Amino acid sequence: MTDRLTARLISQAAERLRPVIRHTALEPNHRLSDLLGGQVLLKREDAQVCRSYKVRGAFNLIASLTDEERRRGVVCASAGNHGQGVAFACARLGISGRVYVPSTTPRQKRERIAALGGDQVEIVVGGGTYDEASSAAHADSEHTGAVYVHPFDDVRTMAGQGTVGLEILAQCGEAPHTVVVPVGGGGLISGIAVWLREHSPATRIVGAEPAGAASMRAALDHGGPLALPELDTFVDGAAVGRVGDATFPLVKDLVDEVVAVDEGAVCTEMLDLYQTDGIIAEPAGALAGAAARELLPHASAGPVVCVVSGGNNDVSRYNEVLERSLVHIGLRHYFLVTFPQRPGALRHFLDEVLGEGEDIIAFEYVKKNNRETGPALVGIEVERAGDLDSLLSRMKASPLTVERIPPGSPLFTFIL
């Protein structure tokens, strides 16, 4: 196995994958085009086999194994999508495999791994985060001799994932001005960057990672990969605590910019993809679109391509998605309100503090400090984000003691 990713390896991977994966669409998106004032195209990897680009890297690596390595079987760690790709490859190639997943992996993804792998694949829960599952899978590999199929930090994986970039250029018709790529461990953006720098060197490459798991930005600032002390796993397909040793130098040398995207912005883009465009995207699949609409300059000189990396979303998560979105766009707010324990206190709050179009969407007494007062958690939804200032003024003028819970506060972990 070579230790250097090249465009030639990506081209070879494309030939290897041609019979088994879909040549996914590159389609214009009118909603984002209107927002940015220029053409925006979506690379629809949510419509890929296994509904994610991850199958490209997993299949390319496993199909490259020697006969002796195939007899030993394979093992991997996955937040869900890579595991599905490994399971698909194992079933297709007749190779036994074990997939280690963190306990946070949505049930929908676990069920898909089992369905795709059939009798060839065993699912093992290995810790609460991807990195813990990865450690368990590495230990399995060392003990059993099974080949470890890395989800991003292996040249064969990166080459397979880089075929997304090959397809983008073949489909675009003209060199894209900007390509926005979701970033977890860095495999997808490394592969795309290697291909674009050789075949479209003027194209601007932007990586988008979740703000709560911004491991690539941390690595770039530090000068090398390092483990994040804390990790928000909401964007589970891109929540990686430490980027790859092989991917980092490629991103550092070839990628123009890496931006961190607030999880609430990701949720807003997920909802718009679904409600306006009819696209079911998982959180990682909405990263690029969220970055384009919030963080990039408008009216680019040429096409902007956003990679919709996956569509394996659990419908049970939509309540949280909606909540995070409403908080992000400033329509939903939370407060600790201390009510005097006397008749009419709540009525005063409803009549004098709340304005027209402002609704209570959550009300829960936290505790009673004494017989005179009792604090309550109150959630309020406003019609327009600009209405908040008026609401805060009325709260300040009220005799009630009101403390706003700001977005990002640790208390939000008990609300979301």
Catalytic machinery residues:
54, 309
Distances (CA, A) of 231 to 131, 198, 391: 10, 34, 34
User: Dihedral sign, CA of 145, 244, 8, 179?
Assistant: positive
Distance CA 155, CA 341 (A): 66
- Beta strands of 311-372 (E only): which ranges? 332-340, 359-365
- Residue 341's SS3 state is coil
Return the closest-CA partner of residue 335 out of 263, 396, 267, 246: 396
Contact assessment for residue 362 and residue 416, using Cβ atoms and an 8 Å cutoff: no
Question: Two tokens at 188?
Answer: 């997808």
Amino acid symbol at 158: M
The first and second tokens of residue 16, run together, are 């290897």
How distant, in Å, are the alpha carbons of 133, 180, 243 from that of 305?
A: 32, 6, 23
CA pair distance 283, 261, nearest whole angstrom: 11
Two tokens at 289? 């679109």
The residues near 121 (Cβ < 8 Å, ≥ 6 apart) are: 86, 87, 90, 91, 96, 97, 98, 99, 113, 114
- Indicate the burial class of 274 (C-beta count within 10 angstroms; 0-12, 13-18, 19 or more): middle
Distance between CA atoms of residues 33 and 359, nearest Å: 34
Q: List the strands of the sheet with 121-125, edge to edge.
A: 121-125, 97-101, 74-77, 147-148
